[in-house]
Structure formats: C-alpha cells, structure tokens
Amino acid sequence: MDRKDLQIIRALQENGRLTNQDLADAVNLSPSPCLRRTRALEAAGVIKGYTAIVDEDAFGLPITVFVRIRLSEHTGKAVQAFEARIRGIDQILDCYVVTGSDDYILRVLTRDLADYERFVRERLHRIPGIASIDTSFAYGTVKRSMTLPHPDL
C-alpha cells in the first residue's frame, strides 16, 4: 500500500457512502484509477466491507458492558468450545483474547441492568468451563473511533 491507498482508506472510513467521483476528488485522483485502487484494496481484503454506524442509544441498547472471563481450563478443546459459543451470541459485539489474569474481554450491549442479568444467567452461565466473570459498566465515552490510525499520513 502506498500513500494514495492510505488516503483512500481514510476517506472511506470517514464516509463509506462517498461516490467514486467524490472519493477521487478527496484523494486527488481521476475516477478510473481511484476505482481501480479501491477494487484492488477490496480484492486484497484490506477493505472487508461497508456498514452503517448505528447509535446504540437510539437503537435501544444504551448500556455498554465490558466482561472479563477467566476459563477454568485451557485445553485446546475447552478454548475452542468456549470461542464457538461466544461467536454465536449476538449481544457480544467484540471478544478479545487478552494477557493478564483474565483470558477474554467481551464488549456487550444491553437495554438495562435486568437485560444484562438475563444475558449472564441465560447465555454466559450456560457455557461450560468459565471459572469467573467480572463486569464493568461504561458510564461515558471519551473517544470511539471507526478510523484506523495511519502513521504515514
């Protein structure tokens, strides 16, 4: 990727609905080379897709919860089973494998505290092999970016 590719990616992250003409104007290219570069970035898997960014509050999921999970055992089979179950739960937006005393951090959205309690009792508690669940509720957002940093720009 060169500097122009990075500019295309940045512009599309800021506004994925840009027409090719508007994108070309934003990055100082003519439309044909801009479209070729964009399609090449898509084909290479650098650009994986396009989506709408939805306001969680307006959608009815105003509570962001960070859940730290520690497994009781770390065999390949236990880890694979846990991760397969996590992938199938829609309320979990993100799941990260982490270092430290916990094994995973989940980001979960819920309507309210009762909704979170149901999620824990009906979804997480039914997953075998969980040794502990530790929860933190976000009460504000300082920064949330959808644009990856580009140190070269």
Domain membership flag for residue 105: yes
Distance CA 71, CA 55 (A): 32
Nearest Cα neighbor of 84 from 72, 73, 98, 95 is 95
Nearest Cα neighbor of 124 from 88, 94, 76, 98 is 88
- What does each of the 153 residues of the chain score in pLDDT, given as a tens digit? 899 999 999 999 999 999 999 999 999 999 999 999 999 999 999 999 999 999 999 999 999 999 999 999 999 999 999 999 999 999 999 999 999 999 999 999 999 999 999 999 999 999 999 999 999 999 999 999 988 887 665
Tell me how many domains the chain contains: 2
Query: According to the model, what pLDDT value does residue 21 have?
Result: 97
Domain membership flag for residue 150: no
Which residue range(s) make up the domain with 89? 56-137
Are residue 36 and residue 84 in the same domain, yes or no? no
CATH code at position 106: 3.30.70.920
Residue 132 and residue 73 in contact, taking contact as beta carbons nearer than 8 Å = no
Sheet of strand 92-97: strand arrangement: 92-97, 104-110, 63-71, 130-137
- Indicate the pairing of strand 130-137 with strand 104-110: unpaired
Helices 3-14 and 31-43: crossing angle in degrees, nearest 10, is 80
Looking up tokens 């999921």, which residue turns up?
Answer: 61
